[in-house]
Structure 1
Amino acid sequence: MYIKSRRESLLNWILTFSGVTCIVLSLLIAHFVYFNEVFNIFLYSTPIKYFLILCAELFFINFFTGLNKSFIYRGIYREAVVSFEIALLMVCGLIIVLFWLHGLTDSRRLIMTYFFISFVILDYAARTFIKYFLISFFKKGKFSSRVLVVAAPETFKTTVRLFDKELDWTRNIIGISTSDVSLIGKSTHGKKVICSNDELLNYLTRNSVDELVVLTDEYDSDTELKDTLSKAEEMGIKVDIRVNLSLFDYLPSSFVKFDKIGNVQCISVSRNYMSHKKLFAKHLMDFSGGLVGFLIFCIFYVIIGPIIKIDSKGPILFSQPRVGKNGRIFKCYKFRSMCADAEARKKDLMSKNEVDGLMFKMKDDPRITRVGRFIRKTSIDELPQFINVLKGDMSLVGTRPPTVDEYIKYEPKHKARVSMLPGLTGLWQVSGRSDIKNFEDVVKLDMKYIDNWSILLDIKIVLLTIKVVLFGKGAK
């Protein structure tokens, strides 16, 4: 795992260096097309500012969004899409940063368009060349690590094919060994069975092998194979043995990680495993987005606050105990959209609940005030939750935080949805919100988010949330 992490980090650095080069060339091309001059571009402050912002964004994208995952194995079309996505994220990020720096009015939008087109073409060409170089020079060249796979005879075709598909660019499978002699000469995915397990030690002694990867459970009962593996290690050959985790076969492999807690080596199983880099990126996104949101909340507080106070008795802000990550209780803040005794009246309205399951939703809820209907329709009532984001109780994107009453009625399968920080928005909010009438559907959306989480997914949900808020889809 550690070696794989280093390989991924090295690849990210290579693609970042390549991307920075493409940024410089794209800025030069854009400047030349717009001004018909090149060499004095970096004498001005604006191109330098663009360059620094774009480089910072590129670093974040390459190291924290996961867009470079499966770089070696994806096809030409997918690589073009990735280059387009990177350019789009960078230009959108540049526009947002310039807006907050009050530099958007000084920018030339046509230059950004020229930059976008140039970067997509150059970055795609650079990535294609890097991929070709790594495959030809390392994976298929003399600098690759020569891997021999030990597989079970009945499953060797499927096992080796899946293993080779995810192999990094520094390793190359040179052959397969099985316990069945009759399979020698057979092949799968371009990889041949070159020896039996009985002849494995003899093959290792007389041929060039750097790594021995054991993808069969036969070594548990085969003492001769165990002895071969021990002697292979003595020869200096790296031996990797697959750990059988049949208890967790129903989980994707990304949920299972090797870890060290104190001085104990262990296997960790978690639905929402996050690396330190990805966790840092999510916290950075929460803090920056929370800070911007808090400033917006302050503006609306001055405008909406007095109107709420005049419309009905009660405080401007409403706080309610909600359940956060793994059962932690916190106070969730909202602009008050209901009458002051709303919680007391909820019991009398439970028979009119329109959601099947452990949530309460009611059309034309009599507890909602006149101003409350407006701020709910426009989602203004949720702006105070940016306070929760800054406090660390919530994230910008996550699952819906349940009330304490809902949570105590949960079954074990429901509690998985609070295994991450709850979010100000999430898949539930951008998939219909109040139009969803079944609690189990809400759980499915939350689990879909948890199982497929990435920074890129968070960015997509934030953009979809803006669209939902502007058009008021599903809000009641």
Structure 2
Amino acid sequence: MYIKNKRESLLNYILTASGLFSIVISMLIAYSCYFGHFFNIFIYATPIKYILILGAELFFVNFFTGLNRSFIYRGIYREAITAAEIALVLISGLILILFWFHGLTDSRRLIVTYFAIGFVILDSASRSVIKLFLLSIFKKGKFASRVLVVADPDDFRLAVRTFDKELDWTRNVIGVSTSDPSLIGKRTHGKKVICSNENLLKYLTRNSVDEVVVLSKYYDSDESLKDTLSNAEEMGIKVDIKVNLTLFDYMPSSFVKFDKIGNVQCISVSRTYMSHKKLLAKHLMDFSGGLVGFLIFCCFYVVLGPIIKLDSKGPILFSQPRVGKNGRIFKCYKFRSMCADAEARKKELMSKNEVDGLMFKMQDDPRITRVGRFIRKTSIDELPQFINVLKGDMSLVGTRPPTVDEYVKYEPKHKARVSMLPGLTGLWQVSGRSDIKNFEDVVRLDMKYIDNWSILLDIKIVLLTIKVVLFGKGAK
């Protein structure tokens, strides 16, 4: 695990260095194209400022989004799409930062366009070159871990083919060992049976092998194989043994992990595994976004507070108990958009609920005030939830926090929705929330988010949310 993490970090450093080179060259090309002659960007503050901001964003993208997880296996077309996604994230972040610090006055949209085109071309090309180089020195060179696979005679072809497809790019299968000596010399999926389990120890002592992967189902009952692997471990060869977890066959393998609690070795099952790096990245994103959002909320509070007070009786802010991560109850804040007795009148309107299931939604809700219709349409009513983000009750992106009366009616499959922190926005909000009339569709979108979570997905949802808010789609 340590070696794997070290190699992944090395890959991220290499891609960040090549990305920085692409940023600098693209910025040089963009300014030169804009002014019609060679433009020395290194003697002006503005392009250097852009490069520093874009470089910091690139470091975040490469190290905290998991974007490079399948880097080696992507084709040229997919790599170009990835470079375009990175460019979109970098430019969106740059614009938001410049907007926040009032720096948009010295930006030029044409320069940004030239930069985006140049960066996509250069970064996708440099990534392809790096990929070919790494494959040449790892897959075909002396730096790859040499792996010998131990498989059963009756299904060794299927086992090796499946294993080789999912193999780490820094490993190379050199051959197969089975309990049947008659299979020696047979080939499958480009791999050759090079020994039997009976003479496996002799092969390991006389040949170069870094790792032995045991895919055999009969390992527990084969004492001879156990002794051989024990000797292999004493020789310094890494031994990996596949564990048959038939109890969890119904779920993706990424949900099942080995863990240690105190001195107890456990098999842990969870939909919401996050590495420490990704968890830190999400916390940083929540804190920075929550702080910016809180300042925006304060500005709106000064202007909107008196208007809400004059429009109808009641407090400016409305707080409601909501259900957070794994059933924790917290107070969710909003600008009040309904009359003061809205909760009491809800029971009278349940017959007009437009959502099939455990949520309440009504298009022409008579409880909504005149100001409330406007702030709901523009999603301004949700700005106070940045307080919840700073308090740690909510995240910028997550699932919709249910009300307590909704939650108590949930079936077990529905409660998976609250296995992560709820969010100000999510897949439901950017998928036309008012057009979704079935609660099961909401659950499906929430589970899609939870099962496929990544920092990059959060960034995409934030950008889509900005688009939805600006054009007023999906909120009623």
Q: Which amino acid aligns with 1:397?
A: V
Residue 93 of structure 2 corresponds to which residue in structure 1?
Answer: 93
Name the amino acid aligned to 1:316: I
- Give how far 1:216 is off: 2.1
Name 1:266's counterpart in structure 2.
266
Q: Identify if the C-alpha distance between structure 1 residues 88 and 6 changes in structure 2 by more than 3 Å, giving closer, same or farther.
A: same
- What is the aligned partner in structure 1 of residue 213 from structure 2? 213
Read off the aligned partner of 1:73 and give its amino acid letter.
Answer: Y
The residue identity in structure 2 corresponding to 1:149 is: V
Give distance in 2, aligned partners of 1:114 and 1:250. 48
Distance across 1 between alignment mates of 2:14 and 2:306: 55
Secondary structure (helix, strand or coil) at the match of 2:104 reads coil
CA distance in 1, matches of 2:373, 2:96: 31
Give the match for residue 20 of structure 1: 20
1:133 paired residue number: 133
Separation in 2, partners of 1:303, 1:235: 73
| CA distance, structure 2, for counterparts of residue 386 and residue 79 of structure 1 | 36
Aligned equivalent of 1:255: 255
Structure 2: gaps spanning 5 or more residues: none
CA–CA distance in structure 2, aligned partners of residues 146 and 190 of structure 1:
15
Give the superposition deviation at 1:289.
1.6
**Contact kept? 1:321, 1:330, Cα under 8 Å:** yes
Per-residue deviation, 1:399: 0.5
The residue type paired with residue 457 of structure 2 is: L
For 2:70 and 2:382, locate their aligned partners in 1 and report how far apart those are by CA, in whole Å.
38
CA contact (8 A) 2:89 2:459 kept: no
Q: How does 1:15-414 map to 2 (within 5 A)?
A: 15-35=15-35, 36-37=37-38, 40-414=40-414
The separation in 2 between residues aligned to 1:357 and 1:92, in whole angstroms, is: 37
- On the 8 A contact 1:73/1:165 being kept in 2, the answer is no
Residues 324-363 of structure 1: CA distance to partner in whole angstroms, max 9, x if unpaired? 1111111101111111111112222223323222212223
Query: In 1, Cα distance between the equivalents of 2:140 and 2:430?
Result: 45
Q: 1:229: how far off?
A: 1.0
Using a 3 Å threshold, how does the CA distance of structure 1 residues 34 and 464 change in structure 2: closer, same or farther?
closer
The 3-state SS of whatever aligns with 1:72 is helix
Matches within 5 A, 1:445-460: 445-460=445-460
2:29, 2:473 → 1: CA distance? Answer: 42
Give, in angstroms, the shift of residue 78 of structure 1. Answer: 0.9
Aligned partner letter, 1:206: R
Deviation at 1:167, TM superposition (A): 2.6
Distance of 1:86 and 1:286 partners within structure 2: 20
Structure 1, gaps ≥5 residues long: none
- Tell me, what secondary structure is at the counterpart of 1:413? coil
Distance 1:300 1:16, change over 3 A: same
Alpha-carbon distance in structure 1 between the residues aligned to 2:18 and 2:291: 33
Counterpart CA distance in 1 for 2:108 and 2:434 is 42
Q: Equivalents in 1 of 2:286, 2:54: separation in Å?
A: 20
Instruction: Tell me if structure 1 keeps the 8 A contact 2:337–2:376.
Output: yes
Give distance in 2, aligned partners of 1:456 and 1:166. Answer: 23
The count of corresponding residues between Structure 1 and Structure 2 is 475
* TM superposition shift of 1:224: 1.5
Report if the CA contact (8 A) 1:70-1:166 is conserved. no
The superposition leaves residues 283-302 of structure 1 with CA deviations (integer Å, 9 ceiling, x where unpaired) of: 11112222222222222223
Superposition TM-score, scaled by structure 2 size: 0.94
* Partner-residue secondary structure (3-state), 1:195: strand
Q: In the TM superposition, what whole-angstrom CA distance separates every residue of 1:141-165 from its partner, at most 9, and x where no partner exists? A: 1222111011233433333233223
What's the offset of the Cα at 1:182?
A: 4.3
Computed over aligned residues only, the root mean square deviation of the Cα atoms, in angstroms, reads 1.9
| Alignment-mate amino acid for residue 361 of structure 1 | K
Instruction: Flag the 1:12–1:200 CA change in 2: closer, same or farther, 3 A.
Output: same
**In structure 2, what is the Cα distance between the partners aligned to 1:352 and 1:96?**
41
Separation in structure 1 between the aligned mates of residue 361 and residue 49 of structure 2, nearest angstrom: 49
CA shift digits 1:244-285 (9 cap, x unpaired):
222212221221223333343433221011111111111111
8 A contact 1:149–1:175 mirrored in 2: yes
Q: Is the 8 A contact 2:290 2:387 kept in 1?
A: yes
- The CA deviation at 1:55 is 1.0
> Offset of 1:64 from its aligned partner?
0.9
Deviations 1:27-68 (CA, angstroms, capped at 9, x unpaired): 333344445335x43222122211211110110010111110
Task: Give, in whole Å, the separation in 1 of the partners of 2:370 and 2:109.
Answer: 43
1:134 touches 1:169 (CA, 8 Å); kept in 2?
Answer: no
Q: Distance in 2 between matches of 1:153 and 1:70?
A: 31
Q: Is the CA contact 1:399–1:423 (under 8 Å) kept in the aligned structure 2?
A: yes
In the alignment, the residues of structure 2 paired with residue 432 and residue 114 of structure 1 have an alpha-carbon distance, to the nearest angstrom, of 33
Shift of the 191–92 alpha-carbon distance from structure 1 to 2, 3 Å rule, reads same
Secondary structure at 1:236 match in 2: coil
Aligned counterparts of 2:97 and 2:363: Cα–Cα separation in 1: 40
Write the letter of the residue equivalent to 1:240. Answer: D
TM-score by length of 1: 0.94
Deviation at 1:471, TM superposition (A): 3.2
* Cα distance between partner residues in 2 of 1:101 and 1:466: 18
SS at match of 1:167: coil
Instruction: Answer whether contact 2:213 2:240 (CA < 8 A) is retained.
Output: yes
CA-CA distance at 1:317 after TM superposition: 1.0
